[in-house]
Chain A
């Protein structure tokens, strides 16, 4: 955060960590209202926003609420009154936010929220891991996972373009890894304000539902029940929500494409394929671990192994067709998760991948790897093991998973 202490108006570059990059996205998106409560490892993001508001860099109302439940509730009211809104949380804060978090997608409010991902309690820990964001994956928020600090900034802006798309109208989680992105520092390019203004347009977020005396209406009246018009009404709204999620896949691709055209930075919108063209087998990654994984793929390639990598950026909705297409012709794959799926004794991305290729790729051997929990680093050496083990699937009998990467130590 020290880099912005002598804040020049619109500096072209800053050297900052992921939390500050997320705050810059809020500045550039001209967010009207921010409501936040600090929690590790998101706290410095809140401090940065407070400083930006105090020094005039960010012309927004900042509500320092008494907790995360209030943070998101405040934003629901603000969005219904027409404001572009932002919050950020993680771990226990996300848990405390859960009630309004459940309601936000159904209200079809284009709120953007960073999850500075953190492993969940218990065992006690304050460090990074994807378990918090993964625990809320079925609620109806769009979720995108960033790989780099620059991508945190860019995705923070792209998120508004996606959320406010009239065919989408859904809240977006921009997930960046606690510790490794939240505090990892890099050189970041700040886009021109005028360019972001053109990209996002003027916020018009309450055209469909408004707290507006000129348009009196009740928000979220009673639906459902066992008879009458209620059940069909509930289905209509629920199905509309699912439709918004479906539509978001195209909106996410279009927004990333447009952003690439404007900035020259083409981030893969749904999945990224890395050295997949002639690959015999593949590893799948999500989030900041991908950098080390790519290095390991390069080393394995140099050693003659035909391995490629697929990074999943958009996890909700799940880009099933893109994943199935990327894995077509692959003879084995391994998936590295920074969280667990308690139901299936594997990682969540592993289970999603199996579902995505079901019917598309006949019985390919695969393995779930779980690592990087509660702040543990995922290194090139870890991925060398992942690649070596996955490569063995080509020749030997299937082996039971999951493989716990940090089990020894």
Chain B
């Protein structure tokens, strides 16, 4: 557009009622609203990494002899517990 009053590119403040945008990241993580949490039975874990492969948010963390979870990003979907061939993962309720 060649409207005369237009400020130089990048210089104009963007009206806050146009396209919805966010320029600061939301501090909320899946762990803030998760309702179930995975717990590993280390005696049963053989470190096959099936949970690591299936986790949709890649929150599975490798430990020396088992796999654990980053609970800040885990959303509690339970896919790891469903897929674990050794039934080493249990989903337990948060809070309670």
- Specify which chain A residues have a CB less than 8 angstroms from the CB of B15 in the assembled complex: 208, 240
Flag if B14 contacts A243 (CB, 8 Å).
no
Query: CA of A216 to CA of B18 in the docked complex: distance in angstroms?
Result: 17
Residues of chain A in range 213-241 having any CB-CB distance to chain B below 8 Å:
216-221, 223, 233, 236-237, 239-240
Say yes or no: A161-B1 contact (C-beta < 8 A), given A166-B6, A207-B9: yes
Flag if B12 contacts A219 (CB, 8 Å).
no
Encoded as 1 (CB less than 8 Å from any A CB) or 0, chain B from 14 to 36 comes to: 11111111110110000000000
Flag if B17 contacts A243 (CB, 8 Å).
yes
Query: CA of A223 to CA of B20 in the docked complex: distance in angstroms?
Result: 9
Query: CA of A223 to CA of B19 in the docked complex: distance in angstroms?
Result: 12
Residues of chain B in range 44-91 having any CB-CB distance to chain A below 8 Å:
none
Query: CA of A208 to CA of B21 in the docked complex: distance in angstroms?
Result: 9
Distance to closest chain A CB from B1 (angstroms): 5
- Specify which chain B residues have a CB less than 8 angstroms from the CB of A204 in the assembled complex: 1, 9
Query: CA of A39 to CA of B1 in the docked complex: distance in angstroms?
Result: 32
- Specify which chain B residues have a CB less than 8 angstroms from the CB of A166 in the assembled complex: 1, 3, 6
A278, CB-defined interface residue at 8 Å: no
- Specify which chain B residues have a CB less than 8 angstroms from the CB of A237 in the assembled complex: 17-18, 20
Flag if A240 contacts B18 (CB, 8 Å).
yes
In chain B, what residue has the closest Cβ to A162? B1
Distance to closest chain B CB from A239 (angstroms): 7
Say yes or no: A240-B17 contact (C-beta < 8 A), given A161-B1, A166-B6: yes
Interface centre among A106, A216, A218, A236 (most CB of B within 10 A): A218
Flag if A221 contacts B20 (CB, 8 Å).
yes
Encoded as 1 (CB less than 8 Å from any B CB) or 0, chain A from 86 to 113 comes to: 0000000000000000000011110000
A346, CB-defined interface residue at 8 Å: no
Query: CA of A236 to CA of B16 in the docked complex: distance in angstroms?
Result: 8
Interface centre among A207, A209, A221, A237 (most CB of B within 10 A): A207
- Specify which chain B residues have a CB less than 8 angstroms from the CB of A201 in the assembled complex: 1-2
- Specify which chain A residues have a CB less than 8 angstroms from the CB of B22 in the assembled complex: 217-218, 221
- Count residues on chain A whose CB falls below 8 Å from chain B CBs: 29
Distance to closest chain A CB from B23 (angstroms): 5
Distance to closest chain A CB from B93 (angstroms): 25
Flag if A109 contacts B19 (CB, 8 Å).
yes
Flag if A165 contacts B19 (CB, 8 Å).
no
Flag if A208 contacts B18 (CB, 8 Å).
yes
- Specify which chain A residues have a CB less than 8 angstroms from the CB of B19 in the assembled complex: 106-109, 169, 208-209, 219-220
In chain B, what residue has the closest Cβ to A209? B19
In chain B, what residue has the closest Cβ to A243? B17
Distance to closest chain B CB from A390 (angstroms): 42
- Specify which chain B residues have a CB less than 8 angstroms from the CB of A164 in the assembled complex: 1
Flag if B2 contacts A198 (CB, 8 Å).
yes
In chain A, what residue has the closest Cβ to B23? A217
Query: CA of A378 to CA of B83 in the docked complex: distance in angstroms?
Result: 66
Query: CA of A164 to CA of B17 in the docked complex: distance in angstroms?
Result: 16
Say yes or no: A165-B18 contact (C-beta < 8 A), given A207-B9, A217-B23: no
- Specify which chain A residues have a CB less than 8 angstroms from the CB of B1 in the assembled complex: 161, 164-166, 200-201, 204
- Specify which chain B residues have a CB less than 8 angstroms from the CB of A108 in the assembled complex: 18-19
Flag if A207 contacts B14 (CB, 8 Å).
yes
29 A-B residue pairs with CB within 8 Å = A107-B19, A108-B18, A108-B19, A109-B19, A161-B1, A165-B1, A166-B1, A166-B3, A169-B19, A207-B9, A207-B14, A208-B15, A208-B21, A209-B18, A209-B21, A217-B21, A217-B22, A218-B23, A219-B20, A220-B19, A220-B21, A221-B20, A236-B17, A237-B18, A237-B20, A239-B17, A240-B15, A240-B17, A243-B17
Residues of A within 8 A of B (CB): 106-109, 161, 164-166, 169, 198, 200-201, 204, 207-209, 216-221, 223, 233, 236-237, 239-240, 243
Known A219-B20, A221-B26; further 4 A-B contacts with Cβ < 8 A: A166-B3, A217-B23, A218-B21, A220-B20
Residues of B within 8 A of A (CB): 1-3, 6, 9, 12, 14-23, 25-26
